[in-house]
Amino acid sequence: MTLDQSTLERYRLKLRYKVSYHLGSSCPDVDDVVQETMLRFVHSLQTEKIRNPESIAAFLSGICNNVIYEYKRRVRREPLHDADSYPSESPAGLD
């Protein structure tokens, strides 16, 4: 099964909306999650792992859900470090 570029782009835009909804539009990793989802989806297409081609959108949504859950688990285990949370000056005596 092959999909044309316009169909893949339409799916990508829908995924971006879904991921933004679940992670928040200010999340810096929205595009990374969408890209990982699309990568897994294209790999599944190439290896013919999609059993029911009529429900391709549901299959893609399931992949997206899994990637979102994996991302949330990883963030919970490894909190993001914000540059603002570190002191801007080195401690006294270490210069």
Q: What are phi and psi of 94, to 5 degrees?
A: -105, 5
CA 63, 36, 10, 52 dihedral sign is: negative
Cα-Cα-Cα-Cα torsion 53, 51, 3, 11, nearest 10 degrees, comes to 80
For residue 37, give the nearest of 56, 63, 74, 4 by alpha carbon: 63
Question: pLDDT by residue (tens digit) across 24-76?
Answer: 989 999 999 999 999 999 999 888 888 888 889 999 999 999 999 999 999 98
pTM (predicted TM-score): 0.76
H or E segment to which residue 88 belongs:
none
pLDDT above 60 for 88: no
CA 7 distance to own-chain centroid: 19
Q: Which tokens sit at 39?
A: 């990568």
Q: Which tokens sit at 68?
A: 């979102």
Helices (H) and strands (E) in the chain, counts: 3, 0
